[in-house]
Amino acid sequence: SPLILLNDLIENANAALPPGVETLRTFDLFDVTPIGIAILASGILYFALAGKYLLPMAKEKSIGSPARTKTYFADVYGIKGDVYELLVTVDSPLVGMTVSEAEKMPGAPLLLAIRNTEEPRLAPPSDEMIWVGTILGVMGTRDVVGRFALDNQCRVQPRLRTFGPLFNSSRAGISEVVIPPGSRMIGQSVGEARLRRRYGISVLAVNRRGKILTEGVRDLQLETGDCLVSHSTWRDLSTVAKERDFIVATDIPKEEQRPQKVAHAVFFFALSVGMIIFSDFRLSIALLVGAMGMVLTGVIAIDEAYGSVSWKSVFLLASLIPLGQAMERTGTAAWIAQEIMVILGDVPDLVIQAALALLATAFTLVMSNVGATTILVPIAVGIALATGANPTMYALIIALSTSNSFLLPTHQVNALIMGPGGYRVADFIRVGSGMSLIFIVVMLTMVNVVFSL
């Protein structure tokens, strides 16, 4: 978070200040809370009053739990029908085909399960062979399944004898899985990613920026924000949810809850917050103590803790912080600040603050908010020193403004909700432009009020 990074940047700025200049103060945990509450309240009010006019109409009002309802997937993705069992006969042209080849047959329903001689399994690999006596678990309408069975000499079983337990709604179902920024799946096709073999999920359709893709899904190259409509067991989906390459957007039964550890979790969370509020420990140290306590008491496994760390962010910070230091100590930040002041001329402080807020907002649309904060804070401090303003206030304006990323789906959070929410870029521009303006106005007002107290 830019606010967590801000104190480190302020300390770096203090080290580069000219002699005799008052040092910048760092922020405590709740120093910016009034500003955040005001921004939150204004955002809620904005969407409450204007949301129904600006946001697209919802396609489905009813959402089931733990998975989406059948009506939802039928209406939004066109996934209709029930599950049937097909017995492959000796005269079937499917004999000797792979699962992938069978799926490409004209009028083929969704192929979700298979049983040869071994135990029945969901999400059969694409190279799994079909033989005489193979039982296929398919999903589709009665007409589609019946026509496919007739054309390919398969016998429709009267009821689910083989796959009944597998398709039980308490064990398996349909879900939505989103491809986040930075996923290793980006650029790979669904087939190349081998999602069935590696993760046990069958991709039924893809929602890409509001467009539903159901044909040629296996050959479709994955992009950031793609929402994969998948069928799997809840156990396999829980495993997928732990991977950093996916975000599971469907509520699923959590199999590894540890209710007996609630007291430990609450204690170490309270300990961390208490250390932040009532001691001089730095925020990072206090949170590390809480995290270590939770690992040692079994609230979270060490592998889970390791997997939750965004190592890309760690190395990004390790690279950007020295860059910010170099800008300050070489005088680059001061030179850029002077050039900006030459362009702006003799203008009121509020105009300079608004210009910095707009600059930070523009930066965060094309790069990470952490990167924008690291680059712009030294410049903002230089401008404040040149104009006689409060450099701490200017640094805070930058740190807050780099979170003003409502205008485009370039921020990770925006990209994640784009697919499941059915939003388009035009929706973000229409709604986000107003929210971005409100953010800047409320933020600048509150920052000036807080620093005037």
Note the pLDDT of residue 185: 93
Burial class (CB in 10 A: 0-12, 13-18, 19+), 230: buried
Supply the angle between the helices 33-54 and 425-452 in degrees, to the nearest 10: 150
Exposure letters 332-367 (e unless 16+ CB within 10 A, then b) = ebbebbeebbeeeeeeeeeebbbebbebbbebbbee
Note the pLDDT of residue 256: 56
Note the pLDDT of residue 65: 39
Peptide bond into 66 cis (omega under 30): yes
Q: What is the CA 263 to chain-centroid distance, rounded?
A: 29
Note the pLDDT of residue 60: 44
Note the pLDDT of residue 281: 84
Note the pLDDT of residue 150: 93
Q: From residue 430, how far is each of 362, 408, 425 by CA, in Å?
A: 16, 10, 9
Nearest-10 Cα torsion for 128, 131, 135, 136: 50
pLDDT in tens, the chain (453 residues): 777 788 888 888 887 777 777 788 888 778 899 999 999 999 999 999 998 888 876 554 433 333 445 566 776 666 777 889 999 999 999 999 999 899 888 888 888 899 987 788 888 888 889 999 999 999 888 899 999 999 999 999 888 888 887 887 778 888 899 999 889 999 999 888 889 889 989 998 898 888 888 888 888 999 999 999 998 888 888 889 888 899 998 877 654 567 788 899 999 999 999 998 888 888 888 889 999 999 999 888 887 788 777 777 677 767 777 877 787 778 787 788 788 888 877 888 999 999 999 999 988 887 778 888 888 888 898 898 888 889 999 999 999 999 998 888 777 777 777 766 778 888 889 999 999 999 999 999 999 999 887
Note the pLDDT of residue 187: 92
Note the pLDDT of residue 59: 52
Note the pLDDT of residue 76: 67
Q: Report d(CA 362, CA 357) in Å as an integer.
A: 9
Say if residues 341 and 386 touch (Cβ distance below 8 Å): yes
Residue 189 gets which letter from DSSP? B
Sheet hosting strand 227-233, strand order edge to edge: 211-213, 202-208, 227-233, 172-178, 247-248
Q: What is the CA 57 to chain-centroid distance, rounded?
A: 23
Note the pLDDT of residue 67: 42
